Amino acid sequence: MNRLRAGIDGARAALGLLTIVPAGSAPVHGTALRGAPAWFPVVGGLVGAAAAGVLVLVEPLLGSAYATALALTASAIASGALHHDGLADSADGLGARGGGPERRLAAMRDPGIGAYGALALIAFALLSLLALAQLAPAKAFAAIVTGHVLGRWSTLPQLAWLAAAREGGLGASFGASSAAVLTGSGIATVIALAACGIAPAAAALAGAALAAAAVAAIAAWSVGGRTGDTLGASVLVTEVVVYSVLAAYWAA
């Protein structure tokens, strides 16, 4: 019974953390947050399916480019733009000159968006749009779901094996156990295989692993560990890599 309760609390915490969907009246913290990471790929799949559904519904009426842009917008709204904020802040931190990690962390805490952050968001939107818009609706649906699942999965290595860069904040509020990484990885793999098939899923998984490792390495080098912003950046960087890999695979 305790395990069932812990699983429900973890799922609720993941849903409340990664989306704007109300996750119940009880506060989300402590044990519930520690159980949340294993559910991240599932929540990503739900958000991705909703966004992809928008694309499939709109594409016959307004074409693939408009439908893809609307799907990406729907995804951003559903996630409360949490990951977009992280990507922008991380880019601004990398662009900060002088002062080392503390200067970069200060730039990341600034509530405004600088030039590097704006460029990062524009690059994500354009690259995602161009990759997905060239696919048939069924393939685009699979790519969006897979990108969302693997994007959320990409945070698990940081949460498990990268120390928090500073006290306080989302990045330091919880982590992921090795069991959560294994569980989340298994779930993400199964969903990717179901959505794309064996060979495309393998390519997407390889791309996601490289993207997650690259963002984690940059976070460790630039600010000395993970923050909520580096987690958000990992989600969107991995998403766009997965979209690009699948578009290239299916176009070949």
Per-residue model confidence (pLDDT) at position 174: 77
Structural domain includes residue 58: yes
Measure Cα distances from 212 to 90, 134, 139, 188, 224 in Å.
14, 25, 23, 14, 16
pLDDT band at 1 (very low <50, low <70, confident <90, very high): low
Q: Which tokens go with 94?
A: 């990398």
CA-based nearest residue to 231, from 180, 190, 173, 186: 173
Residue 120 included in any domain: yes
State how far the Cα of 45 lies from the Cα of 150, in Å rounded to an integer. Answer: 9
Residue 172 binned pLDDT confidence (cut-offs 50, 70, 90): low
**Contact (CB, 8 A) for 84 and 232:** yes
- The answer to whether position 47 is within a domain reads yes
> Are 173 and 33 within 8 A, CB to CB?
yes
CB 171 within 8 A of CB 220: no
Beta-bridge partners for 164: 226
Q: What is the mean pLDDT of residues 96-114?
A: 86
Average confidence (pLDDT) over 85-99: 90
Closest of 43, 42, 38 to residue 17, by C-alpha: 43
What is the pLDDT confidence band of residue 24, given thresholds at 50, 70 and 90?
A: low
DSSP 116-153: HHHHHHHHHHHHHHHHHHTS-HHHHHHHHHHHHHHHHH
pLDDT tens for 177-206 read 888 899 999 999 999 999 999 999 999 999
pLDDT digits (tens, 9 = 90+) for 28-64: 555 556 778 999 999 999 999 999 999 999 999 999 9
Q: How many CA atoms lie within 13 A of 36 on its CB side?
A: 24
Give me the domain span that covers residue 171. Answer: 36-251
Half-sphere exposure of 81 (CA within 13 A, CB side): 7
Establish if 12 belongs to a structural domain. Answer: no
Total domain count, the chain: 1
pLDDT of 77 > 90? The answer is yes
Q: Which is higher by pLDDT, 228 or 176? A: 228
18-27, 85-94, 164-173: which is most confident: 85-94
Residue 26 inside a domain? The answer is no
pLDDT exceeds 60 at position 155: yes
More confident call, 85 vs 95: 85
Burial of 126 (0-12, 13-18, 19+ CB in 10 A): exposed
Instruction: Provide the mean pLDDT of the chain.
Output: 91
Check residue 25 and give its pLDDT: 47
Answer whether residue 209 is part of any domain: yes
Per-residue model confidence (pLDDT) at position 99:
72
More confident residue, 100 or 58: 58
134-145 pLDDT tens trace: 999 999 999 999
CA distances from residue 219 to 93, 103, 133, 224, 227 in whole angstroms, order as listed: 10, 14, 31, 6, 8
